[in-house]
Amino acid sequence: MAHLSATDPPAKSEKKANSLIISSALVPGFGELKLGENRRAKFFGGIELGLWLTVIESNAVMHRSRSKMVSYAAVHAGADLDGKEHQFAVDVANYMSFDEFNEEQQRRRLPSRVYPAEGYDWMWTSEDHREHYWTFLRSRALAEKITLFAVGGMIVNRISSAIDVSYLTKLKDSELSLNFRPLSGEVASTGAEMVITLPF
């Protein structure tokens, strides 16, 4: 004889599930680890670690590239990039000299883009030097894009881990509880009843 019963999960269980979901949203894989899902925890944790290493390395490349840009432009173009906005570094890469740049902006009727002579003057010693300077600029731009991609990946990883923990907690809550107990009363001698408990 089978008997099916349903029980409501306690508020404590729901509170714990929410806590695990939040934990995974903050530290991917932590919720899975607390649920005993070690393989899943390693998966999300490994992705998070890889993304953090990517961000650290990309930021290091950005700083190194910026440092090389500053020193190279100072030596080969007489440009002072210290304390200047990034757009100035790009303009130095695109034009051979301060005069060439300003003349171009005036022809295009963009007076607001004209640089003052004080602190913004530059002139490349050769076209080759200007082209080589571009390699540092491209390296910095690529590292910046990789950093943004990695940060986006971290957001996706957190959302995925939180969803995974939500799924796992619901799966565990819906597991069947199966047990046997003797029949009571007059029919006790005929066997036992099966009790299936299914939480909703």
User: Global pTM?
Assistant: 0.71
State yes or no: pLDDT of 115 exceeds 90. yes
Residue 185: what pLDDT?
55
Domain range list for the chain: 8-78+123-175
Instruction: Report the distance separating Cα 35 and Cα 20, nearest Å.
Output: 9
CB 32 within 8 A of CB 168: yes
The reported pLDDT for the residue numbered 10 is 54
| pLDDT score of 14 | 78
How does pLDDT run across 177-195, given as a tens digit for each residue? 444 455 555 555 555 554 4
Mean of all residue pLDDT scores within the chain:
85
Spatial separation of the C-alpha atoms in residues 114 and 102, rounded to whole Å = 5
Please, which pLDDT band fits residue 113 given cuts at 50, 70 and 90?
very high
Question: Residue 95 carries which DSSP code?
Answer: -
Average pLDDT of span 167-174: 80
Tokens describing residue 65: 């590239």
CA dihedral 45, 46, 50, 51 (to 10 degrees): -40
